[in-house]
């Protein structure tokens, strides 16, 4: 069975196309749950009006489906708590010159 750690590793391959930093490092992933062949992901975006929301979600689903044993990927949007730069990893902040 796939682990949450494996899913998070795959999600690090998904970049925010406007910023060029992976969505895990940006702090956009709130929760990952694995139930046999199904993966449930709760995530947010830097803004609810993100013009690339669909593009990013498609990439999330495609990347996670690459994991052996995954047949279904569900993505749920979370708007509370709101995303803030404090959610970013140290590496992501450094890449953006915020640290």
Mean of the per-residue pLDDT values of the chain: 96
- CATH fourth-level superfamily of 4-93: Fe-S cluster assembly (FSCA) (3.30.300.130)
CA distance 71 to 74: 10
Q: What ranges in 3-74 are assigned the alpha helix state H?
A: 4-11, 53-65
Q: How far apart, in whole angstroms, are the C-alpha atoms of residue 10 and residue 12?
A: 5
Are 18 and 1 a contacting pair, CB within 8 Å? no
The ranges assigned to domains in the chain are 4-93
pLDDT of residue 98: 87
Q: Name the least confident of 2-11, 34-43, 46-55, 66-75.
A: 46-55
| pLDDT tens digits for range 39-59 | 999 999 999 888 899 999 999
Q: What's the confidence (pLDDT) of residue 99? A: 77
Share of the chain above pLDDT 70, in %: 100
Task: Give me the helix-helix angle, 53-65 and 4-11, nearest 10°.
Answer: 130
Residue 9 in this model has a pLDDT that exceeds 80: yes
């Amino acid at each position: 069975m796939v682990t949450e750690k494996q899913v998070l590793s795959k999600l690090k391959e998904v970049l925010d196309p406007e910023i060029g930093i992976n969505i895990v490092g940006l702090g956009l992933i709130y929760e990952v749950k694995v139930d046999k062949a199904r993966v449930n992901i709760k995530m947010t975006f830097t803004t609810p009006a993100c013009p690339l929301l669909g593009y990013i979600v498609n990439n999330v689903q495609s990347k996670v489906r690459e994991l052996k044993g995954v047949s279904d990927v569900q993505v749920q949007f979370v708007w509370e708590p709101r995303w803030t730069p404090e959610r970013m990893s140290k590496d992501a902040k450094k890449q953006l010159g915020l640290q």
